Amino acid sequence: MAAPAGQRPGSLLPVPLSPGDTVGLVSPSSATAERITLQVAAETVEALGFKVKAAPHYASRYGHLAGTDAQRAGDLDAMFADDEVRAIVCVRGGSGAARLLPLLDYDAIRANPKALLGYSDTTALLNGILARTGLVTFHGPGASSSWNRFNADQFRRLFLARELMEYRNVVDAGDELVPRRRRTLTIAGGKARGPLVGGNLAVLAGLSGSRYMPAFDGAILFLEDVNEEPYRIDRMLTTLKLSGALDRIAGFIFGECSDCDPGGGYGSLTLDQIFDDHILPLGIPAYRGAMIGHIREQFIVPVGGLVEMDADAGSFRMLEPVFAA
């Protein structure tokens, strides 16, 4: 289901964030194995220049989850409703965020628009909230992820300086004659513009057919994944094709597929072949290799934000602000 009638996806902008503001920490997916990870997550947010407010159940455990569904959904609702909290960062991904989608108070979220940051399993929340409220959310490192110099710089430029970011891979040849890392590869050339939607392929494909799937009409779809053999990537792209999503997009960006080598057996399609089968026939600009995914240095991108992509250059840029004035 799309955002409410008359409200295009991405039309609701979160409140801006300033140094010294309070940032909420939530665990909407898997539990954290070691308490020191939670300590590091809180210290990271403080090192970025903010006060920290941890949700009541962010350190809880229910099986592999960070608390029951009601507890985790209640924590997220409480952070949106809390006037002291100006933005929300997920501690980690894992599994279980989609279980919260029927439980969230979307009217309260719409009335209290705030930046929500995370990736991987958080894809379910980023796109579900966009679909139900039109609120721009953010795909990028969780609080317990690596906050190296690159990621911290991305955050400060986007959240604090509120730049209209251009996302172009940082390529370093090192001691190689020709760069091998962080390369982009054009699948089909050209430029396209539209609202950015997507995230983790497996999680997004799991939303197919639900009212928590965002609108794909004219969108720029970005995807990434980890620990998936190519046949599974093929299956999930087939799901998006059969749902009609791929036929409606204006452009396609694939990030990294980390540890996605074929297993044993009779052989495997390559990722090149899979993109040739699913993306080339669409006749839209497309490229792969963007610094998005389960990688140490990753772009922080606005889900629902209006962007323009250039598949030949292997880059995309924001066209509009993604925070309220």
Options 57, 139, 278, 294, the catalytic residue: 294
Q: 79 φ, ψ to 5°?
A: -70, -40
DSSP 8-state code for residue 190: -
pTM for the complete prediction?
0.95
Beta bridge partners of 113: none
Distance of CA 226 to the CA centre of its chain: 14
Helix or strand (DSSP H, E) at 231: helix 230-242
pLDDT in tens, 205-229: 999 999 999 999 999 999 999 999 9
Does residue 171 contact residue 183 with C-beta atoms inside 8 Å?
yes
CA–CA dist 232, 270 (Å, integer)? 11
253-297: pLDDT as tens digits: 999 999 998 877 677 999 999 999 999 999 999 999 999 999 999
The one catalytic residue among 29, 139, 144, 224:
224
Residue 129, pLDDT score: 97
- The answer on pLDDT for 7 being more than 50 is no
> Is 294 one of the annotated active-site residues of the chain?
yes
pLDDT > 80? residue 193: yes
Reply yes or no on whether 224 is catalytic: yes
**Residue-range domains of the chain with CATH:** 22-160 (3.40.50.10740), 167-318 (3.50.30.60)
Structure-block tokens of residue 220: 């720029």
135, two tokens: 């609120």
Question: What are the structure tokens assigned to 2, written together?
Answer: 């799309």
Angle (nearest 5°) at CA 51 between 49 and 56: 140
CB contact set of 47 (below 8 Å; sequence gap of 6+): 147
Q: Is 278 a catalytic residue?
A: no
Q: What is the pLDDT of residue 9?
A: 58
What's residue 70's pLDDT? 98
Q: What is the DSSP string of 232-287?
A: HHHHHHHHHHHTTSGGG-SEEEEEEEET----SSS----HHHHHHHHTGGG-S-EE
Residues 280/187, Cβ–Cβ less than 8 Å? yes
The catalytically annotated residue of 27, 29, 30, 120 is 120
Helices then strands, each counted (H, E), the chain: 8, 14
